[in-house]
Amino acid sequence: MDPLLHHMNQYVTIDESGFADIRDSFSLLHFDKKDYLLRAGDVCSRYFFVLSGCLHMYFIDEHGVSKTVQFALENWWITDLQAFRKNAESTFFIQAVEASHVMCINAGRYAELCQTNLAFANYMREINEIGYGAALKRIRLMFDDSKEEIYTRFKDSFPQFIQRVPQYLLASFLGLTPEYLSKLRAKEVS
Amino acid sequence: MDPLLHHMNQYVTIDESGFADIRDSFSLLHFDKKDYLLRAGDVCSRYFFVLSGCLHMYFIDEHGVSKTVQFALENWWITDLQAFRKNAESTFFIQAVEASHVMCINAGRYAELCQTNLAFANYMREINEIGYGAALKRIRLMFDDSKEEIYTRFKDSFPQFIQRVPQYLLASFLGLTPEYLSKLRAKEVS
């Protein structure tokens, strides 16, 4: 079964024939490791669904340091939502952490599908509610005083990330220095 | 015109008659200043739309300090989305910062409406996309080294907050100490 259809069926009811119109709205893309799906300064016109691999979204701070705000593994959606909604230039980069297969839909077709297809509209509502809820939880964690706790909670919630994502990107995402994350992980092993 | 119908029409097309079913799904509530709409430990079963007033959502950290993760003024939606989606106990408080009139919908009726009403499903998809996009932007700001910049950007984006929200809540939301925020504001005036 199509991975997107399979994922949609976890949230809404849709069959193969109802899905045809949705599938035709997407393009299939392959990216090698380190390839860019979006660069700061580009108009952000695409919403990505990951079939395989791993992506991250980051920005470069005033000191020239890359900071990861989001990852996406299989069955995750990723884009710079504010720029995508306005068809505006992004200030983020989206890059492949691993070689990745991705489906993407452009902003115009996305809006059309949502306006005509109740199952797709509800699926995307749910996807964005989940993302929004997770972002609020992350804001809460970032408020937390204990850096060690940030790592421990993340590890318990998303064990698959700890295995797959390079340590320097994980540190960036968690707001830790790579050296400090390294110490935490060494403490676990001992 | 009903404020919710007015707000929906900024995102989707819906008329008075199509709106009747939606309006009947909501209750009207009034809260005095400092009243609680949700307390940590409560099952979070309601999604709130603010007609007038101001609410905030916060948690209490391990040192007993309240930290605000979100505000809601007129025409804003607020709930603990993760708990609401699972009909689970919340770890957040939602409290009235000012006396507030609020519409609310419970989780069961919300799911039903979304599944049957394309306009409502798309309206809520857009609301959650906007919230999600804003939360990602906030995460980016929280990464920022310059505390002064966090305040300046927030002030430029949401001038109405600076006027209405008590300074200690604004400081909590921005991750600043009240003393530091006070200094920044004094510097502006001088």
Model pLDDT, residue A185? 83
Q: Contact A82/B143, CB-based, under 8 Å?
A: no
User: pTM for the complete prediction?
Assistant: 0.89
* Nearest residue, CB atoms, A133 vs list B81, B133, B146: B81
The interface predicted TM-score (ipTM) is 0.88
Residue of chain B nearest A144, judged by CA positions? B61
E-strand ranges in A73-174 read 77-78, 93-96, 100-106
Model pLDDT, residue B76? 95
Model pLDDT, residue A168? 82
Written as six digits, the tokens of A41 are 């300064």
Give the tens place of pLDDT for each residue, B102-141.
Answer: 999 999 999 999 999 999 999 999 999 999 998 988 888 8
Question: In the block, which residue shows the tokens 């930290």?
Answer: B67
- DSSP string for residues in A161-184: HHHHS-HHHHHHHHT--HHHHHHH
Q: Contact A137/B82, CB-based, under 8 Å?
A: yes
Per the CB < 8 A criterion, the answer to whether A124 and A107 are in contact is no
Per-run averaged pLDDT (10 residues), chain A, 190 residues: 93 90 95 97 97 94 86 94 95 95 97 95 97 89 75 78 81 83 80
Distance CA B147, CA A109 (A): 40
Model pLDDT, residue B190? 65
Chain A residue numbers with beta carbons less than 8 Å from the beta carbon of B118 are: 115, 118, 121
Per-run averaged pLDDT (10 residues), chain B, 190 residues: 93 90 95 97 97 94 86 94 95 95 97 95 97 89 75 78 80 83 80
Model pLDDT, residue A145? 60
